[in-house]
Amino acid sequence: MLELSHLYKSYDGKYNAVEDLSFSLEKGEFLVLLGLSGSGKSTLLRCINRLIEPSSGDIRFEGESIIGLKGAELRQYRRNLAMIFQQFNLVKNLTVLSNVLSGRLGYHHIASPFTAEEKELAMLNLKRVGLEDFAQRRVKQLSGGQQQRVAIARALMQEPKIVLADEPVASLDPATADSIMQYLAEINRSGIAVICSLHFLSLARRYGSRVLALKDGKKAFEGLPEEIDAARFKEIYGEDAREI
């Protein structure tokens, strides 16, 4: 479904935030990105959805290169990838329903209204994350965990083939984080591939089908979560690191 070949990204022309990275994503996979803060996880996700431009290398989606896509072609590609952010990226003065409907903007011309079918789909996606009774509540009135569930419902409105989740539980308490991961796992079981960056190996073992670990922008490990033993953990996180 997705294939990256020798991807590089440098912000200053000297230091590579992502360096010579190659891997593929199969349909229905739950790929977990592990690594320290600054290891390149967020940069990688932003290259995949073209929020930032790779310096070199190639990204192919369903066999076609997406490097160089512009305008309508880029918007068409981005419909297939829904992004979930650590800080939710919601419009907090708007209602929950309005935020969820914004996930359909990639399908609309400027100022065209949302259809009755789209509003019905929005309510269905709110029901999937247990927030159908909060549709008319303003986002700023919700807890952090509830806001992240709104972000998941918004992502589902794109009807994506891949969900990119950039540390979606980093700002949540452990119990809420686990519930959010359960929603992502449910999305994955419905046939949508997931690439999710995380800090905790315990969550990677519980939810990931495969792990890609980065260190200083380079691939430090790729394989099954259970293959990360104490020695590999220290290779990824450093000799002084301890697993929590």
CATH (domain of 177)? 3.40.50.300
Residue at 104 is within a domain: yes
Q: How far is CA 109 from CA 51, 106, 114, 135, in A?
A: 21, 8, 11, 24
Total of domains in the chain? 1
Residue at 242 is within a domain: no
Residue at 221 is within a domain: yes
Residue at 137 is within a domain: yes
Q: What are the structure tokens assigned to 209, written together?
A: 């089908």
Q: What are the structure tokens assigned to 197, written together?
A: 């960056």
- Full-model pTM: 0.90
Handedness of CA 147, 152, 156, 162 (dihedral sign): positive
Domain enclosing residue 60, as ranges: 2-237
Residues 106/71, Cβ–Cβ less than 8 Å? no
Residue at 178 is within a domain: yes
Residue at 155 is within a domain: yes
Q: What is the mean pLDDT of residues 71-95?
A: 91
174-215 per-position pLDDT tens digit: 888 899 999 999 999 999 999 999 988 888 899 999 999 999
Residue at 243 is within a domain: no
CA pair distance 174, 6, nearest whole angstrom: 36
Supply the pLDDT for residue 174. Answer: 86
Residue at 244 is within a domain: no
18-55 per-position pLDDT tens digit: 999 999 999 999 999 998 888 999 999 999 999 999 99
